[in-house]
Amino acid sequence: METIANKWRQVKQRIREAEQAAGRDKGDVLLLAVSKTKPTSDIVALYRLGQRHFAESYVQEAVLKQSALAAFDISWHFIGPIQSNKTKVIARHFSWVHSVDRLKIARRLSDQRPDTLPPLNICLQVNISGEASKSGISLGDLPELIDAVRSLPRLRLRGVMAIPEPEQDFQKQRQPFAQLHQAVNALSGTPLDTFSMGMSADLEAAIAEGATIVRVGTGLFGPRQYP
Ligand SMILES: *Cc1c(COP(=O)(O)O)cnc(C)c1O
């Protein structure tokens, strides 16, 4: 059976090759390890290899892991859907939130971010596939939300996050990432520095189109079993 260490090396290698193919600098793209549903022992295994950024999607599960791993120097990212009654815990327990798609949620995160912590890094989740059922705001509504979030004192707006529809074909995978990158770069104002796009199956396409963070779960830990 393939060890976690081997999987991690393979994903790092895929990222490096994609950076090269896109003419980007080595280390330009941050690997975010998506550890949702996986045990803390898997997180520790990757930590020992040098992995420091981990992402979770479920608040309760994340907080349990964080307290078990309090002695480790980990940056925790929240990437799941956010209900209003969870913002207080998220504001206290994470360094990054990638899944903000409403001003109400952003305001609560800013209000509830403790003064003892640095501002919370924020990505706005954009729905580039245009499906009503999916979370994320439309590209059309993005400029207004960017302006509003920028004015919130305890947040630091970093960029955008997207989860396009699954596609097999590389060129088809690239399209929504390219569309998002172009739309964001066309906005006026201070440029955003973060494109959180690309997962296990499409990280090469995302890196080709300017991803700065790829969020990888299955590629590192194997398939998830939901309880
Ligand atoms: C679960 C999840 C991932 C990881 O997906 P894989 O296909 O397992 O790499 C990435 N991003 C988000 C928002 C997720 O919820």
pLDDT per residue, tens digit, the chain (227 aa), is: 679 999 999 999 999 999 999 999 999 999 999 999 999 999 999 999 999 999 999 999 999 999 999 999 999 999 999 999 999 999 999 999 999 999 999 999 999 999 999 999 999 999 987 666 578 999 999 999 999 999 999 999 999 999 999 999 999 999 999 999 999 999 988 889 999 999 999 999 999 999 999 999 999 999 998 76
Kindly give the number of the ligand 1 atom that is closest to the alpha carbon of 218.
Answer: 8
Residue 44 lies in a domain: yes
Is 180 a domain residue?
yes
CB of 157 closer than 6 angstroms to any ligand 1 atom: no
Give the domain extent around 50: 4-220
Backbone angles phi, psi at 127, to 5 degrees: -95, 95
Contact 157, 119 (CB under 8 A): no
CA pair distance 61, 80, nearest whole angstrom: 12
- Determine, yes or no, domain membership for 127: yes
Q: Is the CB of residue 77 below 6 angstroms from any atom belonging to ligand 1? A: no
- Measured CA to CA, the distance from residue 38 to residue 225 in angstroms comes to 9
Q: Into how many domains does the chain fold?
A: 1
Residue 177 covered by a domain: yes
**Distance spanning both ends of the chain, measured CA to CA:** 23
* Residue in 31, 215, 226 to alter for ligand 1 test, most ligand atoms within 8 A of Cβ: 215
DSSP state of 117: S
- Identify the residue whose C-alpha is closest to ligand 1 atom 5: 217
In a domain, 227, yes or no: no
Q: Confirm whether 80 is domain-assigned.
A: yes
- CB-CB neighbours of 14 under 10 Å: 18
CA distance 99 to 161: 7
The answer, yes or no, to whether any atom of ligand 1 lies below 6 A from the CB of 180, is no
Residue 67 in tokens:
């307290």
CATH of residue 174:
3.20.20.10
**Does 225 map to a domain?**
no
Asked whether the beta carbons of 171 and 134 are under 8 A apart, the reply is no
SS3 category, 26 = coil
Q: How far is the CA of 116 from the centre of ligand 1 (A)?
A: 30
156 assigned to some structural domain: yes
Q: Is the CB of 57 under 6 A from ligand 1?
A: yes
